[in-house]
Amino acid sequence: MSNFPQLYKKGNKPSCHPSKFQISAGFQVVNSDKSLEIYLFQYPTCPFCCKVRAFLDYNGLSYNVIEVNPIRKTELKWSDYRKVPILLVKVDEGYLQLNDSSVIVSVLSTYLNDTSTKLTDVVKFYPNIAFMDDDGTIKKEVLNRYHVMYHGQQSESASKRIVDERNSRKWADNVLVHMLSPNVYRTREEAIESFEWFSKVGEWDKNFSSWEVTSIVYLGSTVMYWLGKRLKKKYNLKSDVRESLYDSCNQWLKLLNAKGTTFHGGSRPDLADLAVFGVLSSIEGCSAFGDLRKKTKLSGWYDAMKSSVALHDGQLAR
C-alpha cells in the first residue's frame, strides 16, 4: 500500500477499529474541533511523528496515541502501510487512514481552512500517482503532498508566502531531517543514551514488556549507530557531523533573520515553522540538541515555538 489516503468503511477491516488498540495516551484540548476523532500511530521521538504532533497540538486538536513497537510493529498488523506516522480519523463512512506526515498536515490544513467540506472530499485533492525514476524504477507519490488548498484567487503576496512555506516544508523533510541520525547516534554511547531517552519519553515500560524495552534499547541503538555512519556518507555530512547540524540550523535562522519576524509565518507560526520545530523536537533530550543550543542562536525561535504549540495558538487564530 502507498501513502495514499485509505477509507475503511463501517463493517470492513474490523481490526483497525479503535476498540482493538491499546491507547497509550490521550490529548484532550478544551474547545477543540469536535468534528475530528483522531488516532495517531507513532514512535514518540520519530521526527515525522513529532511533526504531526506539533501540528495537532498547535491547532488545538484532541487526539489519542497508539505507541508502536519499533521492532515488532504488532500495532500495525491491520495496515498494509507499515511506516509511522499513521492517522486514523473517524468519518461518517467509517475510518479514514492518512499516511505520511506531510500528507497528513496538508490534508488537515486544507480541512481546517473550510470545515464545511468533508474530509473524504478533501483527500481527493491528493491522488496517488506512479512514475518512472531516472534509473527505470517505478515509484509512487501523492500528488500535491505539500500543497494546502485555498478557496479563490490568492494575492501576489499571499501566493509568495504559500510558495515560501511549501519550500521550507520540503527542506525540513529533504535536508534537515537527514542531519539527525548521524548526530544522535554519533557514538555508541550517544546512541544508547538517545534510546534510553526515547524509552523514557515514550514510557516504554508502560507499553512494552521489560525484555522488549531492553531489546529495543540495545538492539536498536546498535543498528542505528551503524545506520548513522551510512547516512553520514550518503548525505555528505562533514567529518564532524555536528558542524553539518549547526550549518543547517543556521541556514534556517538566516532565513528568519531575512524576514525580520519571530516566525517564518510572521507573528504566528506557519506550517514551515511547525515542520522544522517538529523535526528538531524529536532530539530535544539528546546530547546533539544540547550542543545545538550552545553553538547556535536557535533557542530564541525554538522556545517561542514550544510555547506557541503548547498554548494551541493555532486554535485561537481560526
Please say if 48 is a catalytic residue: yes
The three cell numbers of residue 76 are 500495525
Beta-strand (E) ranges in 43-185? 63-67, 86-91, 94-99, 128-132, 138-142
End-to-end CA distance of the chain: 34
Beta-strand (E) ranges in the chain? 6-9, 25-27, 38-42, 63-67, 86-91, 94-99, 128-132, 138-142
The active-site residue, picked from 4, 21, 39, 43, is 43
The active-site residue, picked from 16, 49, 50, 249, is 49
The CA-based angle 245-308-117, given to 5 degrees, is: 105
Backbone angles phi, psi at 160, to 5 degrees: -65, -40
Please say if 21 is a catalytic residue: no
Please say if 49 is a catalytic residue: yes
Measured CA to CA, the distance from residue 5 to residue 273 in angstroms comes to 25
DSSP 314: H
The active-site residue, picked from 8, 21, 39, 48, is 48
The active-site residue, picked from 4, 21, 39, 46, is 46
DSSP 263: B
Please say if 185 is a catalytic residue: no
Residues serving a catalytic function are 43, 46, 48-49
